[in-house]
Amino acid sequence: MLDLKYLDAVIGSFAVFSVYRLMTLEKRALPLPPGPRGWPIIGNLLDVPPKEEWFTFAKWGDTYGKIASVTGVLSIIVLNELETHRFLKQLLSRPAEFSDHIRKTAGAIILRISHGYEVGEGQDPFVTLADKHNTFPYRPQSTQYLPDWFPGASFKKTAKEWSSTLKEMVDLPYDYVKKQIVSGTAEPSYVSKLVEGQSLTAEQEFEIKWSSASLYSVSDFCLSHSVVQTVSAIYSFFKAMSLYPEVQAKAQAELDAVIGNDCLPSFENRDHLPYMQAVTLETLRWFSVVPTSVPHRVTEDNVFKGYFIPKGALVLSNLWQMNHDPEVYHDPMSFKPERFLGPKPELDPREACFGFARR
């Protein structure tokens, strides 16, 4: 007689397989985009690498076309002058603190946009506060329920300090803007535009405070996209100038010819510096600030170029591949600003390099 535990296993396996078939055999007028063949139940879960997934997505693009899909639990469709001048001055006076200068400059630019705040020379209280918050290690929220006496729960003391620092980081810049508005000295900023002349509820104030803080600091365990993108772009520029000295020499020659040696360039000079503009575009294209976009969920069944895109699918844009597609950019792995000059410039990378979220 068949052992009951084996019978349970057979019935359970059949039930799981039946659910799988019901999910995958849903009637569709059109197919999903092509992609690598997956396994039952788990789909392509084992095919997606744990890191540098954009290279794998690019290979799939070469094999399956510009639109590819993978399956799993879900369907995934792979698709300011002042601060700059200060940065250059700091870089010349203290070159050994290169990384710190870049991070501070990025934070200063974002703080000016978000709160109209001008970061001071040396140790700035708001930047120091954000840095202090950013150094706290991330802990899963579930650990907050562990009692203080539990072995290994000593981090809860650190978590309380982190929570206090986070509250200061959110409240103090916001309070600064409100005081500036009252005194009539507020600079135009994200916060001032939303607060000035408005009668806000507590919920609205909460949303403005936290959304503005998220522009320049940490959200959960990820750095602010604004800061990361700015820092990454600056690093990429320095790397390119080191690897391609001929580009650096040509850019310097243009600056010397247009600006001279006794002042720094400004936005007013931009139209007279075509090669420098091309260098900026090539920096954004050559080393993508983010290799893949933030996933976006499809809210209803859709059709794109003859492929069925089911409701609930995640659409993921491979920005790295878009900016290194040999059908779009000649010799895409090389740093060539000239590609954006002349009567037939190649595609402007700003169309893709910052992702496709709602603006």
What pairing do the DSSP bridges indicate for beta strands 314-316 and 296-297? antiparallel
Extended beta strands in the chain, E state: 68-70, 76-78, 296-297, 302-304, 307-309, 314-316
Q: Identify the weakest region by mean pLDDT among 5-14, 28-37, 100-109, 266-275.
A: 5-14
Task: Count other C-beta atoms under 10 Å from residue 21's C-beta.
Answer: 11
- Please, which pLDDT band fits residue 32 given cuts at 50, 70 and 90? low
Cα 192 to Cα 57, 180, 186, 259, 292, distances in angstroms: 42, 9, 7, 35, 32
Between CA 99 and CA 178, with CA 357 as vertex, the angle to 5 degrees is: 65
Query: For position 11, what pLDDT does the model report?
Result: 36
Cβ atoms of residues 77 and 44 within 8 Å: no
Average pLDDT over residues 74-87: 57
Q: What are phi and psi of 76, to 5 degrees?
A: -120, 125
pLDDT at 72 over 70: no
Q: Model confidence at 340, in pLDDT bands (50, 70, 90)? A: very high
The most distant pair of C-alpha atoms in the chain lies apart, rounded to whole Å, by 96
- Which amino acid appears at position 262 of this protein? D
Q: Dihedral through CA 182, CA 213, CA 165, CA 228, nearest 10?
A: -140
How long is the chain? 359
Tally the C-alpha atoms within 13 A of residue 69's C-alpha that lie toward its C-beta.
20
DSSP conformation class of 219: B
- Angle made by CA atoms 298, 216, 349, in degrees to the nearest 5: 55
pLDDT band at 3 (very low <50, low <70, confident <90, very high): very low
How confident is the model over 343-357, as pLDDT tens digits?
999 988 887 776 666
Region 7-20 average pLDDT:
38
pLDDT, tens digit (0-9, with 9 covering 90-100), for 220-241 = 333 445 556 677 788 888 899 9
pLDDT given for residue 118 in this prediction: 78
In the prediction, which pLDDT does 41 show? Answer: 43
- Selected residue with higher pLDDT from 51 and 260: 260
Tokens standing for 169?
A: 């980081």
Band of the pLDDT at 107, cuts 50, 70, 90? confident
Q: What is the pLDDT of residue 188?
A: 84
Which residues on adjacent β-strands are paired with residue 314? 76, 297
Strands 314-316 and 76-78: parallel
| Separation in Å, CA 150 to CA 46, 139, 156, 243 | 36, 15, 10, 53
112-146: per-residue pLDDT in tens?
Answer: 888 888 776 666 666 666 655 554 444 444 445 44
Most confident among 31-45, 217-231, 256-270 (mean pLDDT): 256-270
* pLDDT greater than 70 at residue 284: yes
* Cα–Cα distance, 66 to 54 (Å, whole number): 13
